[in-house]
Amino acid sequence: MRVMPWLHCLRGVVGRELLRFLHQRSRFLAALVRPLVWLFVFAAGFRMALGVAMTEPYQTYILYEVYIVPGLVGMIQLFNGMQSSLSMVYDREMGSMRVLLVSPFPRWYLLVCKLLASTLVSVVQVYVFLAIAWAYGIQAPAMGYLYLLPALLVTGFMVGALGLLLSSFIRQLENFAGVMNFVIFPMFFLSSALYPLWRIREGSYLVYQIAALNPFTHAVEMIRFAMYERFNGEAVLISVAVAAVLLVLAILGYNPSRGMMARKGNAG
Amino acid sequence: MSETHDATEAQLALEVRELSFTYSGRPALDDVSLAVRAGEFVVLLGPNGAGKTTLFSLITRLHDRRRGEIRIGGFDVRRQAVQAHARIGAVFQQPTLDLDLSVMQNLAYHGALHGMSRGEAKSRALAQLERVGLADQRRTRVRRLSGGQRRRVEIARGLMHEPRLLLLDEPTVGLDIASRRDLVAHAHRLCAEAGVAVLWATHLIDEVRRGDRVAVLHRGRLLADEQGEALTARLGVETLGEAFDRLVGDEEAACE
């Protein structure tokens, strides 16, 4: 089997996603403004009410703004993953999914290319956000920014695959608002993105239990530890496993004979 | 015996055999058989909802929970998906170009999806754009092209990987009369010059040209499959429109 055509395919899919991203400045701006508003407005306001006592992986007492940054990184990826996976199928983009799927390469490979492409777009967004946070004074160790990269790839695949899976079988979630209410917000709020788990536990044991089970919590912790040059084995293991399972399910969902695509059909 | 069988199979750009597909309990395609030879132009004629798009979705394997067999240039779309897919070019009913990207960027993307290097994709795209008369628009953003031009770009894209079969699903929707005529003429030229087999789905009878083979699809069943003139003669009517009404009318009567 020749390798080059496969690489050309990957280059094409990634290149297109990056080009589209560059052309859609409003999408980039929205993706950037969202976490910045959280950081500058929400976190700055909470700073008075909520300092964070010494928690792993931090070496000292930290400001709330410092605590919230990894969660916001996760949020950027969550939004981006959902957006690109869902827009691919719905809206006027149904066509572009067809263009992708008539390629002679196997479908699993096309979907992996697509997920990698949207993940890389989210990585660009994350580093721009972190650069602004750096300028604002929230600075992680230099190597942390490098260790962060693999964590971002795992999280990107996880949320992207989740979006693909949703898009393959849930017809009611055709608009983004629905996904926001029923997927993004619960995943984000019921996680350790905004408050440490021990803090949530003090508030409500039930919410704590949900947050501890939420895969997004583990993705955020993986990001948080990586940023501070630490390796959280449990978080990495769970995140990778969840990403792998979601990826397999998404690929099955797009299998033409067994998956949900077949059930959805297409009249006309 | 088997050798001659293989030889004829290889000449068939598309072979659909006893194809049935059920969509939410309702048969969308019912025992459809259809063959298109290289260089042949076949009009798949049927009202909206007849099953034309479903047939195309099954050929391109967007889904394939079905009974029956589909072969492209002799390759089974299920078991030899890679070879079969590489021989199909498709223009879908809904526009599928990226409006914010240039014509060339759109075509380069398609080339990459077919495993072409950057240089190869570019030269092939240019050749096809010249054929549809849009080579000097290659740097234009698709958003700034007219509907007819966009369709021609999609046809150029569909032919970049030199498929043996070109599928067009109601490609003239939303086009003015002149663009429609141009597009029909262009597709015929492709057949004659490049030997591409064309399956052209439409509900517009006036897109059928003299000498075209017409396959009439209605409610998922193939009611006729022969040259337009032969069809009208057989049914003893003057025009293809009357022939269509007669076929569809008989079908309705049979249902009641």
Per-position pLDDT tens, chain B of length 256 = 344 444 454 578 999 999 999 877 788 899 999 999 998 999 999 988 889 988 998 898 887 778 899 999 999 988 888 889 899 999 988 888 888 899 999 999 999 999 999 999 999 999 999 988 899 999 999 999 998 899 999 999 999 999 999 999 999 888 888 888 888 998 898 888 888 999 999 999 889 988 899 999 999 999 999 999 999 999 999 999 999 998 888 766 655 4
Contact yes or no for B62 and A98 at CB 8 A: yes
| B92 vs A19, A95, A104: nearest CB | A95
- Between chains, do B78 and A257 touch, taking CB under 8 Å as contact? yes
**Domain stops at, among B162, B185, B201:** B162
Evaluate whether A258 touches A252 at the Cβ level (below 8 Å): yes
List of chain A residues whose C-beta atoms are within 8 Å of the C-beta of residue B83: 104
Contacts of A263 in chain B (CB under 8 A): 65
pLDDT value for B252: 65
pLDDT at residue B8, as a whole number: 52
Whether residues B72 and B185 fall in one domain: yes
Q: Which residue of A has its CA nearest to B77?
A: A104
Any domain includes B70? yes
Could A24 and B64 be called an inter-chain contact, meaning their C-beta atoms sit closer than 8 Å?
no
Which residue is associated with the tokens 């898009």?
A167
Residue at B151 is within a domain: yes
State residue B3's pLDDT score. Answer: 41
From chain A, pick out residues whose CB is under 8 angstroms from the CB of B165. none
User: Across the interface, do A96 and B93 touch by the CB < 8 Å criterion?
Assistant: no
B201 and B249 in one domain?
A: yes
Per-domain residue ranges for chain A?
4-258
- Residues B151, B172: Cα–Cα separation, whole Å: 8
**Per-residue pLDDT, B41:** 93
For B112, the closest of A8, A94, A268 (CB atoms) is: A8
Q: Which residues of A touch B108 (CB under 8 A)?
A: 12
Could you give the C-alpha distances from B209 to B218, B227, B228, in angstroms and in order? 20, 10, 8
CA distance A121 to A240: 20
Please tell me the total count of domains within chain B: 2
In a domain, B92, yes or no: no
A20–B111 CB contact, under 8 Å: no
Residue B176 resides in a domain:
yes
For the question of an ipTM over 0.90, the answer is no
Cβ within 8 Å, pair A265-B109: no
Does B246 map to a domain?
A: yes
Choose the mutation target among B22, B53, B63 for the interface with A, i.e. most A CBs under 10 Å.
B63
Residue B52 and residue B178 share a domain? yes
Both B154 and B167 in a single domain?
no
Rg (CA), chain B: 19
Is there a single domain that holds both residue B147 and residue B207? no
The CA distance from A267 to B5, in Å, is 35
Tell me the residue range of the domain where B142 lies. 98-162
Does one domain contain both B169 and B226? yes
DSSP assigned state of B236:
T
Query: Residue A266 and residue B88: Cβ atoms within 8 Å?
Result: no
Any domain includes B93: no
Q: Looking at chain A, which residue has its C-alpha nearest residue B100? A: A23
pLDDT at A266 (0 to 100): 42
Instruction: Kindly list the residues from chain A whose CB atom is less than 8 angstroms away from the CB atom of residue B57.
Output: 266
**Which residue blocks in B60-174 are alpha helix, DSSP H?**
81-86, 103-113, 118-131, 147-159
Residues B191 and B81 occupy one common structural domain: yes
| Host H or E run for residue B45 | strand B41-45
Question: Which chain A residue is nearest to residue B81, measuring alpha carbons?
Answer: A104
> Cβ contact (<8 Å) for B100 and A11?
no
Q: Using an 8 Å Cβ cutoff, are B13 and B36 in contact?
A: yes
Amino acid B72: pLDDT: 92
Residue found by looking up tokens 């029923």 in the block = A182
pLDDT recorded at residue B25: 78
Cα separation, A114 vs A14, in Å, equals: 7
Which of B120, B135, B162 finishes a domain? B162
Residues B74 and B174 in one domain: yes
A with B: how many residue pairs have Cβ under 8 Å apart? 124
CATH number for the domain spanning B13: value is 3.40.50.300
Within this chain, do residues B175 and B251 fall inside the same structural domain, yes or no? Answer: yes
CA–CA separation, A76 vs A179, rounded Å?
A: 15
Last residue of a domain, one of B162, B178, B211: B162
Residues of chain A predicted below pLDDT 70: 1, 48-54, 88-95, 169-176, 256-268
pLDDT one-digit tens code per residue, A105-115: 988 999 999 99
My answer on whether B150 and B248 are in the same domain is no
Considering the domain architecture, whether residues B41 and B150 belong to the same structural domain is answered as no
B125 and B177 part of one domain: no
- C-beta atoms of A105 and B113 within 8 A: yes
Q: How many CB atoms lie within 10 A of CB B149?
A: 18
